[in-house]
Amino acid sequence: MDNYYQNPSQGFAPENQVPTNLTPYTLQRIKETATWMRVVSVILFILTALIFLAAIGVLAAGSGLRSFGGRSGFSSAVAILYILLGVIFYLIPGILLIAHSTRLKNFSITNNLTDFEDAIAKGKSYWTYIGVLALIVTILMFIAVIITIAAAVK
C-alpha cells in the first residue's frame, strides 16, 4: 500500500520531476538573482511607458505645430520611431527577462530538474535576443561611422 502522507523531509517529486542536488545556499543565490532580474524587468517596463509617453508628447507637439502652419508628418514619424525603439529595446527584453526570472524563482522553490530546464530555456531566449540586438546595433554603428567618414572626406 502506498503512503500518501509522506514525510516532507524526504522530498516528494512527481514522476516527471527529478530533484537536483543543489545546496540550499545555491538555491538561495538563484532566488536572489531572480529577484534582481525581476527588478530590472520592471525598470524596463517603466522605461517602455516613459518612451511611449514621449511618443505621445511628440505627437501632441506636432499637432500644436500644425495649428501654426507646421507639418505634423515629421512628428508622426518620430513618434512611430520612439514606439518602435521602445518595443525593441525595452518591452521585449523586459518580457523575456521577467519570464526567465519567474522560471528561476520557481526552480529555487521546487528544486527540480524540469523547472531548471525551463528556466535555462527562458534564459537562452533572453540572451539570444540581447545578443542579436547587440550585433545589429554594432553593425549599424559601424555603418554610421563609415558614412560619417565618407561624408567628411568629400
Query: pLDDT of 115-138, one tens digit each?
Result: 999 999 999 999 999 999 999 999
Which amino acid, 23? T
Q: Is the pTM of this model over 0.75?
A: yes
Residues 6+ apart with CB under 8 A from 21: none
- What does the buried/exposed string (b/e) look like for 60-94 if buried means 16 or more CB atoms within 10 Å of the residue's CB? eebeeeeeeeeebeebeebbeebbeebeebbbbbb
The predicted pLDDT at position 68 comes to: 56
Q: 92, 127 in Cβ contact below 8 A? A: no
Residues 6+ apart with CB under 8 A from 51: 82, 83, 85, 86, 90
The predicted pLDDT at position 76 comes to: 85
Any idea which residue has 517529486 for its cell? 13
Output 7 or 94, whichever has higher pLDDT. Answer: 94
Domain ranges of the chain: 23-153
Q: Give 112-129 as a DSSP string.
A: BHHHHHHHHHHHHHHHHH
8 band by pLDDT with thresholds 50, 70 and 90: very low
Query: pLDDT of 44-74, one tens digit each?
Result: 999 999 999 999 998 888 776 665 555 667 7
